[in-house]
Structure 1
Amino acid sequence: MDELIDILTPEGKLTGKTALKSEAHKNGWFHATVHIWLFTLDKKILLQKRAITKKVFPGLWDISVAGHVGAGETILTSAKREILEEIGLELDEKDLLKIGTRIHQVKHKNGIKDNEHHHVFITELKVPISTLTIQKEEVDAVKLFDLDILKNTEKFENVLLARFHDYYCSIYDKIYTEIARKHSNLK
């Protein structure tokens, strides 16, 4: 879906300009996205299988939920909207723990230039995945994997991308720390 997004400076500041997502990808303009990683307290990570019709990484098991921040939209509003759209889960802002922002610059073979500021969140998945409603245009399936998959991407074909191994390891560390914190609070 081609949506209107805010154009950012390479440092992540608003320029005051907007463009269609397709224009930003064609011209390599920086823009904001959200990544939301959902985990369970028994050390599982929810991954989504990207729809085969996606222009980038089709059919890949990827981030639980991800998407572009709409023009004029706040980061948290975007994160909540993407979660609701892609997997049918409604969360409160307090459920989302922001763990950082990462600059991502990739030129794809199809001509798309992804210059993005990823706003990265983690949150506990508290419902069975059978209750999730996936958005067929974006997502082919969702599945729980052992959390360790984030550190062992090279062992699995079509699950995450080995070239982003450091990113996945940082996600693993943040989730593992959050799980330990939640377990200590339960005692």
Structure 2
Amino acid sequence: MQELNIVDENDNIIGKDTRENIHKNGLLHREIHVWIYNKNGGILFQKRAKTKDTYLDLLDASVGGHVEIGDDYLKTAVKELEEETGIEAEAKDLIYITRMRKNAYDERTGMKNNTVKRVYAYEFNGSADDLILEEGMASNLEFWPIDKILNLTNEEKREFIDSVVDKEYAGVFKRIKELIK
């Protein structure tokens, strides 16, 4: 069973527990997101597999993952980028965007995902079809125009995990849009 660090509001490690218990009890822990973008103004989303234990069949961040005990945020971001897309990048290739505190709740499973999250961006100008899906994790990768993401209708928002299309992430997408200019 995977164990993760439990952290306080200031991101200090205060303990550890299993991933299952952390999500069951809503304990604060560390995660990363890497948003892949292209020079055409697209942001890559992964469609979570229908077999996932949470948020199945919804659009999510390009890359996401838990920071394992002994790892740091950036190391995790580089590792997850390769695992989830096949992109072999170096730490210097990722652009740090922000740190955020997120609370998410999956009504279907009762999972509480309370995180301190570091968010990075990575420029990739190939096709989504060039990327390698991590088996069992995602069913598809697709680019969406940033301007479209910033103006989703309520109906369109249902295709996404709530927390990746909220106001806080709108700021992330606007920052990525600035990187493209």
TM-score, normalised via structure 1 length:
0.87
| Root mean square deviation of aligned Cα | 1.7
CA distance in 1, matches of 2:106, 2:127: 35
Equivalent residues of 2:55, 2:106 under 8 A apart = no
Instruction: Report Cα offsets for 1:19-50 as digits up to 9, x if no partner.
Output: 22111111221100001101001111111101
State the partner residue of 1:134: 133
Instruction: Report Cα offsets for 1:48-99 as digits up to 9, x if no partner.
Output: 1011122221101121111111111111110011111111111111111111
Equivalent residues of 1:153, 1:162 under 8 A apart = no
Identity %: 26
Q: Which runs of 5+ in 2 are unaligned?
A: none
CA distance in 1, matches of 2:91, 2:103: 28
Q: Does 1:25 align with 2:26?
A: no
State the partner residue of 1:79: 77
TM-score, normalised via structure 2 length:
0.90
State the partner residue of 1:185: none
Q: CA deviation at 1:150?
A: 2.1
State the partner residue of 2:110: 111
Q: CA deviation at 1:157?
A: 5.3
Q: Number of matched residues?
A: 178
Give the match's secondary structure for 1:101.
strand
State the partner residue of 1:167: 168
| Paired AA for residue 115 in structure 2 | E
Q: Does 1:8 align with 2:36?
A: no
Q: CA deviation at 1:162?
A: 5.3
| Paired AA for residue 112 in structure 1 | M
Q: Which runs of 5+ in 1 are unaligned?
A: 181-187
